Amino acid sequence: MKLMYINGKFTKGTSKEAIEVQNPATEEVIDSVPRGTPEDIEAAVQAAKSQFDMWRRMGANERANHLHEVARKVHEHKEKIVHLLTLEEGKPVSENEEEVEWVINTFRYYAELGRHHRGSVLTSGEASQFNFIIKEPYGVVGCIVPWNYPLLLLAWKVAPALAAGNTIVIKPSEMTPLTALYLAEYCFDHLPAGVLNVVTGYGLETGESLVKHPDVPVIAFTGSLATGQKIASIGAPMMKKLHLELGGKDATVIAEDADPEIAAKAVAYAALINAGQVCTSTERVYIPRIGADKFIEAIVAHVKTLRLGPGLDSTTDMGPMIGEMYRAKFEKQIAEAKSSGAKILTGGGRPKNLTKGFFHEPTVLTNVNHNMVIMRDETFGPAVPIMEYTSFDEAIRLTNDCQYGLGAVLISNDTKKIKQFFDDVKAGTIWINDPLTDNYAGPFGGMKYSGGARELGEEGLDEFRETKHVHWDFNMEDKSYWYPYGRE
């Protein structure tokens, strides 16, 4: 059993039960972790709280060195981390290598950005005054991390929160806790005890306790809309800072000028990376009615070439889904679409050659519409539902006809269509011809029901800093506008 990390020590805490961690490609148990309790959250929060003043007052250079050391250690342990990540989460090794590189460079990026500045000087209203802005850490940050990118989405929260001067309590997903504990043991171990803590457990027992804790002013969460709404309902009366990234239903629009073969590869990558289990996965594809057959033929042909298998197999293009519950939900969406008139052109079921593991074939559907669940609700599975449009204005209307607004993709070289797309589509990230690519300096986050949080960039650092305005008058003297009024 891998133990929790509280106040610089590995401990079972008050847990009396264990949570088994399953390999989604084989259904075998890899290891287990303690089923944490509210008492364990209390211990972790108090440890983080006790170190907050020390950590926030630490010189920026020293704090930056700590973050650089995290990056160095992750790089040193990269091969073992990638292997463990593939075992517990299921993505192919190549995708996990990219995830770990993102972790390394996120810590490097915020190590430097954290000492770049902590505020600004304003033009003062009077010659005797000095006005400036200070950006300060909040205190203890609760980071609730999902299973689909358990290290990348951890780093996107932890690195800027630490760089800003906060201390941390991490609640990893109960499905993928092992890599977070590995980082605690080998990559976070140089941090002063209590600055960073990891408590394993289920959401109702540890996650909710973290959200409810009065000494945790910030909750950073990535996950489902329903869970985010519950967190908001708990946190709002306590006036917590809520950093919520709540998923999406991203669209890809293929314009008439797009090359069908290139569009097919772009769509397959955007829709099927990590078996479609990405908040920014393309879950709706809109193609022009003119030439639709060519686009559909190219997409179906390309998807048929993709190889399913365990992530550790170097020939694998797409790995398993994370668990049976998630696969069953996905299958229900496919069945509902089919019963409502959708046509399955390839896929649609479980692969017959993979009897173990939570695999599902990549599935291309046509004849879909916005009345179907698969075109409305987040799918989080390997589906490519394709709908035709008659005009580019209609394509934009269809793209915006969604409660989510995380991202959107356009495949086109038509400059007028490109400008219309990024002007009119309501989404936090717009990708033109290069889907799902991020930039460390570019803020990531959504609009509408995807939540208003921003990760990466300076905006990602500011999510973990609150603003203080200092108004300083050098002259300690009686002001003419003080009481009593009417004096000469």
Domain boundaries, the chain: 4-246+451-471, 250-432
What span, in angstroms and rounded, lies between the C-alpha atoms of 140 and 127?
39
User: Does the 4-246+451-471 domain belong in CATH 3.40.605.10?
Assistant: yes
Exposed (0-12), middle (13-18) or buried (19+): which is 98, by Cβ within 10 Å? middle
Contact 201, 3 (CB under 8 A): no
What does the pLDDT look like over 65-89, one tens digit per residue? 999 999 999 999 999 999 999 999 9
Strands 140-144 and 129-137: unpaired
**What pLDDT shows up at residue 294?**
97
Catalytic residues: 245, 279
For residue 306, what are the contacts with CB-CB under 8 A and spacing of at least 6? 268, 272, 317, 318, 362
| CATH class in words for 250-432 | alpha beta
| Residue pair 362/382 in contact by the 8 Å Cβ criterion | yes
For the packed helices 152-163 and 60-76, what is the interaxial angle rounded to 10 degrees?
Answer: 160
pTM: predicted TM-score of the whole model, two decimal places: 0.97
* pLDDT-flagged residues of the chain (< 50): none
The predicted pLDDT at position 488 comes to: 67
What pLDDT score was predicted for residue 486?
A: 84
pLDDT recorded at residue 183: 98
Using CB atoms within 10 A of its CB, is residue 179 exposed (0-12), middle (13-18) or buried (19+)? buried
4-246+451-471 and 250-432: same fold?
A: no
